[in-house]
Copies of this chain bind each other. A is one copy, B any other.
Amino acid sequence: MSKSAISVSVFIATSLDGFIARPDGDVSWLDDYEPMGKGEDGGYGELFNAVDSMVMGRGTFEKVLTFDWSYGTKPITVMSKSLTEVPEKLKGSVRIVALSPLELLEKMEAEGCRHIYLDGGQVIQSFLREGLVDDMTLTVIPVLLGQGIPLFGHLEGDIKLNLLEARSWENGFTQSKYQVVK
């Protein structure tokens, strides 16, 4: 079975040195910045509206549970081999699966899913290693954190990318959208 019918998008922010969070998962450093502009979300809403579903790992899920829940309107799949219980208030919109990336995509494709938004460092790395990411939109925040949870990890070989779009904002954010070359 090919995974060609399901499209996998990454949309994430990192520090200039490639961290998505501080070592303890803290992302409050993102709050130090002015908005990109009035009503400007850097394309997040457009992607969120376009996808059928979100997929994230345990770490990201546990982090977003501490926020006001902002993923409301899309079903969420949490990839975890240790979590089993979905919090009561999220039953119906969140499920937990213990599958490999390819197994999950096959399952979701069979369920009719055509486009997913992938969030979280470990999950993104595992999909990248298996060649299952289609495009990545990276927003780079103008700070060096010097330590933290990295977006990217070890790969056995190069992954080539096509730059689709690059832009920047007055607040110092830059954003690049890449297509992963298969």
| A contacts, CB < 8 Å to B | 16-18, 29, 128, 138, 140, 142-147, 151-163, 166-168, 172-174, 176, 178
Q: Given the complex, which residues of B lie within 8 Å of A152, measured CB to CB?
A: 16-18, 144, 146
This chain: copies in complex: 2
Within 8 Å by CB of A172, from B154, B157, B162, lies: B162
**A157 and B146: CB pair below 8 A?**
yes
**A156 and B163: CB pair below 8 A?**
no
Within 8 Å by CB of A144, from B158, B162, B173, lies: B158
**B16 and A178: CB pair below 8 A?**
yes
Q: Given the complex, which residues of B lie within 8 Å of A168, measured CB to CB?
A: 163, 166, 176
A142 CA to B179 CA, complexed, in Å: 10
